[in-house]
Amino acid sequence: MNFPKVFCVLGALTEMRRAAIILRRITMGTRGVAILAGIGLGLPAFSSSFFAVRVGLVSFGPTGSCVVSSDSAFAAYEGQADKPFAVLPAGGSCKVSAQGDRVLVGGKVCQTAYFSSSGSVLKLAVGAVSRRYRGWIHVSAENGRLLLVNEVSLETYLMGVVPCEMSASAPFEALKAQAIASRSYVIKKIDGWGSARYDVDDSVNCQVYRGAEYESENTNRAVRETANLLLTYQGKVADAVFGANAGGITEAEDAVWGGPPVPYLVPVSDLDASGKPYSADSKYFSWSVEFGPEQISKAMAGLGRPIGSVLDIRIAARTSTGRVSQLVVTGSEGSASVTSSELRKALGYDKLRSALFEVSKSGTGWRFYGKGWGHGVGLCQDGAVGRAKAGQTFEQILAAYYPGTQIALVRGDPLGLSSRGSVIDRRKFSR
């Protein structure tokens, strides 16, 4: 198996928004990459402008109020003010409420505000849900609802992503592969994100992120030891998508989302030398689920294709990997075509877990038998765990799932490679 190369991404230089961010060639070591030492994850001590990931905390759900607190003294700032308008003691708290398109912070009405702790984390509570976040918490409002944004450095953001996307107990080489994929993925995601209020959100729409709540030494170390390493293809940051379990074979990107083929997001046979899928030991590798005729009829009607009482379900087309692409559902009032993606969304992604399935009539409805969980494109997280257990390095894992890519080390902030990377001006509160 070929190792991805560490190289200087000369083509990416023309895309940088900051000339200070440069790339340099690294001498290949026995592991295929030399780790850059001395990368810090700390925050700026005082006033400064710098790149940050602005994470929309949508997982809390719509809310008109929240409570911010900290185990250390913390402060609230209005807009871009140099000095805080409120300083709270360690263990104190501050309620924030939406007032139309403005926010009420304590007793002060602001257009926007942000919080900074003299310690390492802030606590944010919405209803009964409370989480800890590094960096800053920015609050604004629209139509009586709060918009909560956590602003953090890229590496700090990844410390909150990796343990949510892969178990902290996973083999270390798999965690490093996940860290590099997540770092590359978020840079590409920022470029395509539609919201001007934040760069990405904290849900499965981007990458699951829960701040400092699930950090572990193992996952933090994986982030540190791969600091500033990116997956690239022909001098540009690769779109390093990933999924939970590919069921033994990954899928082509264009087969799932359409558009032109992506050379490094192609079907990959994910089997070891004996023919066993690397992801086979996961509890998510195989599954079955049964749906009654009423459930399927309701799902089809919800898709705008009412067919009456379901009489038959037939697989009409598959992709080259065996995944279902098209089905025909026949009912008492006619037949209609539906894609597997549409049917999975209508019936529930947690039930119809992938498009790699068979379907047959059962006594009370239709039973689906499948493999894997998710779209199947790019890195298979359970497969990466299996490959690491088999002795593969993170370089080998990434080479397997993203053929033709290379690993590059960025000297500077990788967020500068994004055409929409956010530069923010924030103060770090200090007593």
pLDDT in tens, 24-66: 222 222 233 323 222 333 333 344 567 899 999 999 999 999 9
Distance CA 154, CA 415 (A): 7
Helix (H) or strand (E) run with residue 384 in it: helix 381-389
Query: Does 199 share its domain with 328?
Result: no
Are 294 and 218 in a shared domain? Answer: no
Task: Determine whether 284 is exposed, middle or buried from the number of CB atoms within 10 Å of its CB (0-12, 13-18, 19+).
Answer: middle
Q: Residue 112: which of 149, 74, 87 has the closest Cα?
A: 149
Residues 293 and 209 in one domain: no
Q: What is the pLDDT of residue 421?
A: 65
Residues 53 and 137 grouped into a single domain: yes
Q: Could you say which of 106, 121, 153 is where a domain stops?
A: 153
Domain count, the chain: 3
User: Does residue 116 register a pLDDT over 70?
Assistant: yes
Residue 350 CA neighbour count, 13 Å, CB half:
1
Answer yes or no: is 237 within a domain.
Answer: yes
Residue 157, C-beta contacts closer than 8 angstroms, at least 6 positions apart: 53, 55, 186, 209
pLDDT tens string 87-110: 999 999 999 999 999 999 989 999
- Note the helical H segments in 61-209: 154-165, 172-192
Query: Domain ends where: 104, 121, 153?
Result: 153
Domain-embedded: residue 22: yes
- Scored b (16 or more CB within 10 A) or e, 361-397 reads eeeeebbbebbbbbbbbbbbbbbbbbbbeeebbbbbb
Buried b (16+ CB within 10 A) or exposed e, 63-88: beebebbbebbbbbbbeeeeebebeb
Q: Whole-number mean pLDDT of the chain?
A: 88
Can you give the pLDDT at residue 48? Answer: 54
* Residue 320 lies in domain: 286-371
CB distance 186 to 200 below 8 Å? yes
Among 125, 153, 181, give the residue marking a domain's end: 153
Per-residue pLDDT at 423: 80
Amino acid at 36: L
- For residue 420, being part of any structural domain is answered with no
In the numeric block, the tokens 């140099």 are attached to: 82
pLDDT, tens digit, for every residue of 347-376? 999 999 999 999 999 988 999 999 999 999
Nearest alpha-carbon partner for 374 in 392, 388, 357: 357
Residue 228 falls inside a structural domain: yes
Asked whether residue 18 carries a pLDDT value surpassing 80, the answer given is: no
Checking if the pLDDT of 279 tops 70, the result is yes
Residues 25 and 166 in one domain: yes
Q: How far apart are CA 227 and CA 232, in angstroms?
A: 15
184, 201, 219 from 193: Cα distances, Å: 15, 9, 26
Q: Say whether pLDDT at 20 is over 50.
A: no
Domain match, 250 and 389 both:
yes
Say whether both 81 and 178 belong to one domain: no
Check whether residue 250 and residue 174 sit in a common domain: yes
Q: What confidence tens digit (pLDDT) does each residue in 378-395 have?
A: 999 999 999 999 999 999
Instruction: Please tell me whether residues 82 and 147 are part of one structural domain.
Output: yes
Percentage of the chain modeled with pLDDT above 90: 79
Q: What is the mean pLDDT of residues 320-348?
A: 97
Q: What is the pLDDT of residue 46?
A: 41
Render pLDDT for 172-185 as a digit per residue (tens, 0 to 9): 999 999 999 999 99
E runs forming strands in 13-155: 22-23, 48-56, 65-69, 74-78, 86-88, 93-99, 102-105, 108-110, 113-117, 122-126, 129-133, 136-142, 145-152
The per-residue pLDDT for 317 is 98
Same-domain check for residues 69 and 88: yes
Q: Are residues 54 and 149 in the same domain?
A: yes
**Residue 356 is assigned to a structural domain of this protein:** yes
Low-confidence winner among 34-38, 188-192, 205-209 (lowest mean pLDDT): 34-38
Same-domain status, 195 and 336: no
pLDDT range class, residue 417, cuts 50, 70, 90: confident
Q: What's the pTM value of the predicted model, to 2 decimals?
A: 0.88
pLDDT of residue 169: 97
The enclosing H or E element of 232 equals strand 229-233
pLDDT at site 50:
76
Per cent of the chain over pLDDT 70 is 87
Instruction: Give domain status of residue 334, yes or no.
Output: yes
Considering the domain boundaries, does residue 143 fall inside one?
yes
- 358: phi then psi, degrees, rounded to nearest 5: -120, 160
Residues 6+ apart with CB under 8 A from 62: 145
Phi, psi of 333 (to 5 degrees): -115, 15
Q: Indicate whether 263 belongs to any domain.
A: no
